[in-house]
């Protein structure tokens, strides 16, 4: 009996490791905004968001539901009379991915990777018209509360 209890606990823990795969969504809502290089809001901007899982058309500012992926998300926004703005959102593994590796023996992590559910993009995607920026969740003040992200422009860094 003493050896069966640890075995049952290990088996139960392994099964729970796959729960993140079942409860996580393949979709993520991101907030898209566009600004001029001086920081003024640009309304009614046409944007396209793309990764290896799909392409989504949107109007900024607004919320967009995209499909999660291990690949980065590329955003291009345009408006008549303005230079286009480009943004690359870095895809980072979610906390549940590591739990699947540790507790689930890696099976859940493989499933999460293949479905994209083991990854997240930054929640805020602030595009600067006429510039190309990169947004990374690692630079967010607190990714759990989805704080504002630090932007790295091709000509330097800018904080929002």
* Cis? peptide before 61, omega within 30° of 0: yes
Domain spans, the chain: 4-159
pLDDT band at 25 (very low <50, low <70, confident <90, very high): confident
pLDDT in tens, 96-125: 555 555 555 565 555 555 555 568 899 999
pTM as predicted = 0.68
For residues 139 and 120, give the distance between their C-alpha atoms in angstroms, rounded to a whole number: 14
For residues 131 and 134, give the distance between their C-alpha atoms in angstroms, rounded to a whole number: 10
Residue 90 has pLDDT above 70, yes or no: yes
């Amino acid at each position: 009996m003493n050896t069966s209890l640890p075995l049952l606990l290990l088996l139960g823990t392994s099964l729970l490791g796959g729960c993140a795969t079942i409860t996580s969504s393949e979709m993520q809502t991101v907030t898209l905004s566009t600004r001029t290089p001086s920081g003024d809001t640009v309304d009614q901007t046409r944007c396209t968001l793309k990764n290896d899982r799909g392409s989504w058309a949107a109007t900024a500012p607004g919320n967009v539901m995209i499909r999660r992926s291990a690949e980065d998300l590329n955003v291009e926004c345009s408006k008549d009379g303005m230079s286009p703005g480009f943004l690359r959102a870095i895809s980072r593994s979610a906390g549940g991915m590591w739990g699947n590796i540790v507790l689930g023996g890696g099976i859940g992590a493989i499933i999460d990777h293949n479905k994209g559910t083991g990854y997240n993009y930054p929640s805020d995607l602030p595009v600067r018209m006429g510039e190309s920026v990169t947004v990374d969740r690692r630079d967010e003040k607190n990714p759990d509360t989805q704080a504002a992200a630090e932007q790295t422009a091709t000509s330097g860094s800018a904080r929002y």
